[in-house]
Amino acid sequence: MKKILLKFLTIESVESDPINQQHALRVATAVLLVEVTRADFIVQPAERARLRNLLEDQFGLSKAELDALMEEAEADADRLVSIQHITRLLNEHYDHAMKLRVVEMMWQMVYADGEKDHYEEHLIRQVSDLLYISHSEFIQARHKAEP
C-alpha cells in the first residue's frame, strides 16, 4: 500500500493503472474508518465487526480480500502521520456522493460501540472539511447514523 500511496503522491499518473487506483482508494477509505475506531483510544469488538461489515457492504469483497484490506489498512493507520494525503486521494478520485458516503461510514463507526466521543467527532469534522462536505451534510450524515 505504501508504494501505491507514494505513487499517488508523485507526479506519475494514477489513471494508467485502474486496479491499483481502486485498491488504493479502498485502503484509503478503510484507513479513515480504522482511525475512527482508534480516536477514542479504545477499540471495541463491536467496532471491528462494524468495520468489516461496512467494508464488505461498500466494496463487495470476499473474506480473504476483506482480511487483507483490513490488515493493510491497520498497518497503514499505524504509520499514518496526516490524513491530508488520504483526503487528497479521495478528492481526486471520488465524486461528492462517494465522499459523503465515506463520512456516513465514519459516523456509523462512531455509533458501533454505542457512544459518541468528542475525539471521534473532531476527526470526522476534519475529514469532512478536507473532503469539501458542507456542515449541513456533516450533520445529516451524523443523524443518519445515529441509533
Q: Could you report the per-residue pLDDT of 94-140, keeping only the tens digit for each?
A: 999 999 999 999 999 999 988 899 999 999 999 999 999 999 999 99
Q: Which three cell numbers mark 63? A: 473474506
pTM: 0.86
Domain 2-145: state its class: mainly alpha
